[in-house]
Amino acid sequence: MTHSVLALLRILADGHSHSVQELCNRLMLDTVMLEQSIEGLRELNLSVQVSADGALALREPLDLLDHQAIISSLAHNARAWLSRLEVHPVIDSTNNYLLTQAASGWPSGAICLAEVQQMGRGRQGRNWLSPFGANLALSLLWRFTTPSAAVGLSLATGIAVARMLRQAGITGVGLKWPNDVWWRERKLGGVLLESGGTVERFYIVAGIGLNVALAREASALIDQPWVDLQEIWPGAPVDRNALAASVIGSLIEAFSRFQDEGFAGFAEEWVRFDQVRGQGVRLHLPNGVVAGIARGVDVTGALLLETPDGRTTPYLGGEISLRLAS
């Protein structure tokens, strides 16, 4: 995104109409250059509307991410662990970005956020829809002494997000094993952990996607029930910068605690958020489907499945998907 496209966006983000004259003056552009910048916004699927008198406005105001606003809302403890924080207007995937930076030596505690991801990823190569300004797309880089030290971290990450949302007053938030943030069985967000490095220099990039105000048109692109915070947030509209700071604070607190306690320190809390415990479920495995009753998780975060023969078996692995039986 060029400097002038970004500068134009910052003006139009208020949702008000601005005349061409005003925009050209403020941005120090001629009308041809302004037209190119408008095109730049349209390429990001932002709808710029032109009124009868030629004034320009976005269809809806945008609550843009702001580096300084996030930093100043961040709890002190979190600031101490944070090594850097970057806010990108456009990125392929915040996880990809931090995986690349991790390989070149960035330390623990780096955070990347983006307004839009052009190749946002879910698990198993699935897409994660992140239109401009409509969700929180955030990744955190963390280094561990060994790969085994990170067992169960995916679940602990979900707990950190769900706990923060509950503290913000959203009731009905829970987790669907292993990585979905649910609100009344509708997908509000997801967690994608990816790793790299060597056994001695091992790192995790934890990606969080949280829907804030996903336009209704997105429905056609998401093939399961979903929800956004705009629909369920108590009171005032969601402030994305304050939300980002709360998510980062909760994540950093969870990761630093996980470093000392492992998943054992989170197992009890999982029970409070577990949305499928006691329910009939089907597990889609790489080599078939197995049905049973979900009986919570073990100390590694593996799902415990009770099958009709009365046996309970732990299931763990990135290629397993759980679906409610009903």
| Site residues, ligand ATP (CB under 6 A) | 122-124, 126-129, 135, 179-180, 187, 190, 209, 211, 214, 222-224, 226, 321-322
State the residue number with the nearest CB to ligand ATP: 122
Report the alpha-carbon angle 283-117-252, nearest 5: 70
Query: Which alpha helices (DSSP H) does 44-75 contain, by range?
Result: 67-73
Which option in ligand BTN, ligand ATP, none does residue 224 bind, with CB closer than 5 to 8 A by kind?
Answer: ligand ATP
117's CB contacts (< 8 A; 6+ apart) are: 91, 92, 93, 94, 128, 130, 137
Q: Which of 121, 143, 163, 187 is catalytic?
A: 187
* C-alpha span between 306 and 296 (Å, rounded): 10
Query: Quick one: 58 or 174, whose CB is closer to ligand BTN?
Result: 174
Rounded to a whole number of angstroms, the minimum distance from the CB of residue 164 to ligand BTN is: 16
Rounded to a whole number of angstroms, the minimum distance from the CB of residue 132 to ligand ATP is: 13
Q: Which of 10, 79, 295, 323 is catalytic?
A: 323
Which option in ligand BTN, ligand ATP, none does residue 93 bind, with CB closer than 5 to 8 A by kind?
Answer: ligand BTN
Query: Quick one: 2 or 127, whose CB is closer to ligand ATP?
Result: 127
- For this structure, is 201 an active site residue? no
- For this structure, is 187 an active site residue? yes
Query: Quick one: 109 or 207, whose CB is closer to ligand ATP?
Result: 207
Report the alpha-carbon angle 227-187-9, nearest 5: 55
Rounded to a whole number of angstroms, the minimum distance from the CB of residue 163 to ligand ATP is: 20
Helix (H, G, I), strand (E, B) or coil at 237: coil
Query: What are the distances in angstroms from CA 20 to CA 16, 28, 47, 57?
Result: 13, 11, 16, 10
Residues that bind ligand BTN (CB under 6 A): 93-95, 117, 120-123, 128, 130, 137-139, 179-180, 190-192, 207-209
Rounded to a whole number of angstroms, the minimum distance from the CB of residue 260 to ligand ATP is: 28
Which option in ligand BTN, ligand ATP, none does residue 129 bind, with CB closer than 5 to 8 A by kind?
Answer: ligand ATP
Q: And the tokens for 323?
A: 């679906």
Query: Quick one: 115 or 180, whose CB is closer to ligand BTN?
Result: 180
Which option in ligand ATP, ligand BTN, none does residue 207 bind, with CB closer than 5 to 8 A by kind?
Answer: ligand BTN
Q: What is the DSSP string of 141-195?
A: EEEESSGGGGTTHHHHHHHHHHHHHHHTT-TTEEEETTTEEEETTEEEEEEEEEE
Query: Quick one: 163 or 176, whose CB is closer to ligand BTN?
Result: 176
* C-alpha span between 209 and 138 (Å, rounded): 7
List the beta bridge partners of residue 116.
90
Query: Quick one: 78 or 188, whose CB is closer to ligand ATP?
Result: 188
> How many residues can be counted in the chain?
326
Which option in ligand BTN, ligand ATP, none does residue 137 bind, with CB closer than 5 to 8 A by kind?
Answer: ligand BTN
Rounded to a whole number of angstroms, the minimum distance from the CB of residue 131 to ligand ATP is: 8
- For this structure, is 277 an active site residue? no
Identity of the residue numbered 130: S
* C-alpha span between 166 and 172 (Å, rounded): 8
The answer to whether residues 242 and 202 touch, using CB atoms and an 8 Å cutoff, is no
Helix (H, G, I), strand (E, B) or coil at 211: strand
Rounded to a whole number of angstroms, the minimum distance from the CB of residue 189 to ligand ATP is: 7
Which option in ligand BTN, ligand ATP, none does residue 211 bind, with CB closer than 5 to 8 A by kind?
Answer: ligand ATP
Catalytic residues: 123, 187, 323
